[in-house]
Amino acid sequence: MSAVLTDIRAATAGSATAPRHFLNIRDLDATTLRQILDVAAGVKAMQQGRRRPLHPAAPLAGRTLGILLSKPSTRTRVSFEVGVRQLGGDAVILTSAETQLGRGESVADTARVLSRFVDALVLRTGRTAALEDLAKWSSVPVINGLTPDSHPVQILADIMTFEEHRGPIGGRTVAWIGDGNNVASSLIEAAARFGFRLRLATPPSLAPSERVVAWARAEGADITLTDDPREAVAGADCVVTDTWVSMSDEDAAERIILLEPYRVDTALMARAAPDALFMHCLPAHIGEEVTAEVFESRASVVFDEAENRLHAQKGLLIWALCGDAWQTYGQEGER
C-alpha cells in the first residue's frame, strides 16, 4: 500500500466517508479489483443490449467528475468523459493552462477547492507527487489517470480485454517486451493481484522498478526478468508492448537504438502460444516497437483494449461513488 494511502486511512480511521481513492493496483485487494471488473462487464453488457437494463436510475445522476490533465490525452480524457456521462453524470475538463495550478497554486489548495465543486477527480500528470498530494488533501475520490510511475486504469482495461477473449487470466502467462515503464509497473502489480505469470524482457538500463518487482514477489507473484525477448515470449498467452519514446523522454534517438532488438514482429510472436494475443496501450509507432504485420494481425486486440478503457473505468467510478451497494450495478436481479 502506498505511503499516502496509509496516511489517509490513519487520518480517517473510523470514518464512514473516507474517499475511495484509486492510485495504484496494489492499493486494492484482489477481491475488490475482481468485483470492479465484474461490474464493468455487466454495465458493458447492458449498454450493448445483451442484458435488460435493470437499473433505470443512472448510478451517477447528479454527480460531476473533474478531469485534470497536465499532459495531452486522447483515451484517458475521452473514456472518462464519455463514461461518466453514460452513467448519468457530467464531467469538467481542466488543463494546467486553465487552472491556477499553472500559476503556482498548491496542489493542496486546489484539492480542497475542487472537492467542494465535484464528486471525484481524475489526474493525468507528469509528477507522481502531484497525485499523492491531491489524494492526501482531497475529500472526494481521486483516480490515477497516469503518472510517470504507473498507469493502473490501462491495466484494468487490459485484464478485461484478455478475459473477454481467453477466459480467466489467473495461471496464464503474459510477456512484456520493451521499456520497463509506468505501464509495466502496473502490470507487475496486477500479476500479484490477478495471479498470472509475468515475464518482462527489457534492456538492463530500462528494467522495471526494483521496488515494484520486490513488492510483487513478496505478494507471491511469479515475475521473471530477462534481457532476451525470445525467452520472455516463449509459450506466452499474451504479448504486450508500449511505445519506446514517451512525451517526457529527451533521449529519443538513443532509446530507439537501444530498443531495436525488442521490436515485436511476426517471428517473435511465432514463439508465443498459437492463440496468443497482442496488446498495446496506444498510441503505437508502427515500425518501432511493433511491426504493421503484428499490429494489424488477428492476434491484435489493441482496439478492444482502447474500448475497454471506457468500460473498466465505469466500473471504477461506480466503485468509487456508489457506496456499499456498488457491486450490484450491472448484475442480474434488482438492486
Q: Residue 13: what residue type?
A: A
Q: Which three cell numbers stand for residue 247?
A: 512525451
Active-site option among 21, 309, 313, 322: 309
Q: Is 151 noted as a catalytic residue in this protein?
A: yes
Active-site option among 133, 158, 179, 242: 242
Q: Is 179 noted as a catalytic residue in this protein?
A: no
Active-site option among 20, 75, 124, 255: 124
Active-site option among 20, 77, 151, 263: 151
Q: Is 313 noted as a catalytic residue in this protein?
A: no
Active-site option among 281, 311, 313, 327: 281
Q: Is 100 noted as a catalytic residue in this protein?
A: no
Which of 249, 241, 280, 283 is closest to 74 using CA atoms?
A: 283
Q: Are 223 and 213 in contact (CB under 8 A)?
A: yes
Q: Is 124 noted as a catalytic residue in this protein?
A: yes
Residue 188 sits at φ, ψ, to 5 deg, of -60, -45
Active-site option among 154, 199, 311, 313: 154
Q: Is 217 noted as a catalytic residue in this protein?
A: no
Q: Residue 86: what residue type?
A: Q
Residues 6+ apart with CB under 8 A from 13: none
Please give the positions annotated as active site: 124, 151, 154, 242, 281, 309
